[in-house]
Structure 1
Amino acid sequence: MIERERILEVLEKYDREKVVIGAIGSHSALDIADGAKAEGLKTLIVAQEGRHRTYAEYFRQKRTKDGLMKGFIDEVIVLERFGGIIDIQEELRRRNVIFVPNRSFVVYTGIDRVEDEFLVPLFGSRNLLRSEERSEEKSYYWLLEKAGLPYPEPVEPEEINELVIVKLPHAKKRLERGFFTAASYKEFREKAEKLTKHGVITEEDLAKARIERYIIGPVFNFDFFYSPVDGEIELLGIDWRFETSLDGHVRLPASQQLTLQEHQFEPEYTVCGHASSTLRESLLEKVFDMAERYVKATQKYYPPGIIGPFTLQTAVDKDLNFYIYDVAPRTGGGTNIHMAVGHPYGNALWRKEMSTGRRIALEIKRAIELDELEKVVT
């Protein structure tokens, strides 16, 4: 792990009047860039060839022929592969880039290289990014247990006697999920064999899969922000997901679902979009309590603790109990729905449009003005 002191040494050489907000061109980059532009900061996106036009053309800042300004991305660096970002660190430092990590950055660069080689100031908690890996000993499940937070109980394959969800990566689309459900060991084995045959999962991944009780109820992703400048937690917004063939399945009558071919029968859980949501007010204190316990646990076990955005992904049962089934210790994947218009709760709190991307930029600006930039980077 790169020591924080080395990052602060890099930061000492930055021109703080010319700080640039950087991100990998994927996942939540548009929200990050839009928010930075809203706060008057320059933006730089590192894109991959073949996936660069969204950033380099369609949302690039430019003037129309009648002089109007549109777009919000100032600079784009196009690489052959995202992983090549390690090779352009010097250029990022020269441009005074503070980099905002998202899930794509970690996956495409590799967690080891992010921790040990990427000598560029990160806005957020570098040491917490590894906790998102379910196979790690000190994963977010470990942290949730230490914090006394509710999460779906793990189940051994042979002990399956009610509906469970099996969590493992997709065999071919490694960023995505090869999840499936089962209500008995027999069903677990039958589905696993079918999905393996169709190339959705592998036996190797199945052996390391997380199996847990399925919580029957709606899902809410709570987009929080912890400010080291103020020492406060903010709920910015709530989102939920659209998941490829799963959403197609639930739009079919049960009788039609039963006629699907074998290769169509098991839905896939690949996230392809998000929608905004709110929560009934009487439940909000439960949600804030979960966030407070999570933040305190990160501060105790992963000092300095969470910095900036984090998402608690939950399911709610019939008795209105929350269960955290996933944690994003960085900007969540669903925050693009709040670009330009902000989050409902963040807007109300700040009395202006406050997206996650804008909240990140605002924290960086305030930290610079208060000479506390070292508090928000690792």
Structure 2
Amino acid sequence: MIEREQILEVLKNYDKGNIIIGAIGSHSALDIADGAKEEGFKTLIVSQKGRHKTYAEYFKLKKTKDSLTKGFIDEVIILEKFGKIIDIQEELRKKNVIFIPNRSFVVYTGTDKVENDFLVPLFGSRNLLRSEERSEEKSYYWLLEKAGLPYPEPVEDPKDINELVIVKLPHAKKRLERGFFTAASYKEFREKAEKLIKHGVITEEDLTKARIEKYIIGPVFNFDFFYSPIDEEIELLGIDWRFETSLDGHVRLPASQQLTLQEHQFEPEYTVCGHASSTLRESLLEKVFDMAERYVEAAKKYYSPGVIGPFTLQTAVDKDLNFYIYDVAPRTGGGTNIHMAMGHPYGNVLWRKPMSTGRRIALEIKRAIELDELEKVVT
């Protein structure tokens, strides 16, 4: 693990008046870059060949022929593969880059390399990123248990399935995505698993390590929080929920029509393809803040220095208005692009100006520079 002291040594050579905010060109990079520009930082996106035009052309900072300013991404570095970012870390350091980790960065670079080889200051907790892997002994489920937080009850053996469960495992081909499926009995579990293996959606190897948990029937809310090490306070910035393919297509069909689908269409996939904004009934907000407080305290105790900056608690709410945390993002969430430029509802009212997750990250970095407290926000 790269120690915090090593990163602080790197920072000693940085020009604090010319910090550049960087990110992998995927996931929530547009929100990160937009927020950075709002707070006066230059932006750098590391992209992959074949996926670079969004950043290198369509949102690139440029001047129109009548001298209007358009776009917000200052520089794009294009690599053959995202994972090659390890090879350009010296260049990133020379440019005074503070890097904002998102899920794509961790998946494409690899957790081990992020922890041990990427010697660039990260905004956030470097070691906490590993907790997102469900296969890890000290995963976010372990952390939730230590914090006394509610999560869906696990089913250890598929033969014990006696009510509706969701089976969580990665997609066989799209490793960033999910190969989730539901079942209400062991027989249904095996039948669906065999079909999904046949169609290349999941693998038998991943299935043996899958997380099986009781399905919570109710709406889902992703709570986009921010913990400020400078103020030692938690902020709720916004709430989002997901559009998932092909699940959302299935639920728009009448049950009778669903039964006519071909075998390769029958089981919906849970690939996230977009997000929408939401709010929550105010009488429930106290419960949500309590969950966030307990998560932050547990992370501080078991993953020192704990949460720095954005994190997302992904929840389902049952008929009795009980929350169950089914996933945790210990970094910027995947749904924050819906708040670019206009900000999050709760973040806006708290700060009395448009406050997206990307802008809140940039604001914390800006404050840390001005207060000479950068060591509090990077690892």
TM-score normalized with structure 2 length: 0.99
Quote the offset at 1:290 in angstroms.
0.1
Question: For residues 185 and 354 of structure 2, what CA distance do their matches in structure 1 show?
Answer: 48
Residue 137 of structure 1 corresponds to 137
Matched, 1:161 2:162: yes
1:104-145 Cα offsets, whole Å, 9 max, x none, are 000000000000000000000000000000000000000000
Residue 108 of structure 1 corresponds to 108
Residue 91 of structure 2 corresponds to 91
Residue 12 of structure 1 corresponds to 12
Residue 209 of structure 1 corresponds to 210
Quote the offset at 1:179 in angstroms.
0.3
Question: Unpaired segments of 5 or more residues in structure 1?
Answer: none
Quote the offset at 1:242 in angstroms.
0.2
Residue 260 of structure 1 corresponds to 261
Matched, 1:127 2:136: no
SS in 1 for 2:176: coil
Quote the offset at 1:300 in angstroms.
0.3
Question: For residues 281 and 80 of structure 2, what CA distance do their matches in structure 1 show?
Answer: 46
Alignment of 1:25-44 (within 5 A): 25-44=25-44
SS in 1 for 2:239: strand
1:143-167 Cα offsets, whole Å, 9 max, x none, are 0000000000100201100000000
SS in 1 for 2:21: strand
Matched, 1:67 2:55: no
**Number of corresponding residues:** 378
SS in 1 for 2:246: helix
1:304-360 Cα offsets, whole Å, 9 max, x none, are 100000000000000000000000000000000000000000000000000000000
Alignment of 1:166-315 (within 5 A): 166-315=167-316
SS in 2 for 1:234: strand
Runs of 4+ in 1 over 6 A off after TM superposition: none
1:260-301 Cα offsets, whole Å, 9 max, x none, are 001100000000000000000000000000000000000000
Question: For residues 117 and 174 of structure 1, what CA distance do their matches in structure 2 show?
Answer: 22
Quote the offset at 1:92 in angstroms.
0.3
Q: Which residue type is aligned with residue 366 of structure 2?
A: K
Question: For residues 148 and 356 of structure 1, what CA distance do their matches in structure 2 show?
Answer: 27
Question: Unpaired segments of 5 or more residues in structure 2?
Answer: none
Q: Which residue type is aligned with residue 183 of structure 1?
A: A
Alpha-carbon RMSD across the aligned residues, in angstroms, is 0.4
1:217-237 Cα offsets, whole Å, 9 max, x none, are 000000000000000000000
Question: For residues 135 and 333 of structure 2, what CA distance do their matches in structure 1 show?
Answer: 20
Question: For residues 374 and 9 of structure 2, what CA distance do their matches in structure 1 show?
Answer: 12
Q: Which residue type is aligned with residue 266 of structure 1?
A: E
TM-score normalized with structure 1 length: 1.00
Identity of aligned residues (%): 88
Question: For residues 27 and 173 of structure 2, what CA distance do their matches in structure 1 show?
Answer: 19
Q: Which residue type is aligned with residue 172 of structure 2?
A: A
SS in 1 for 2:23: strand
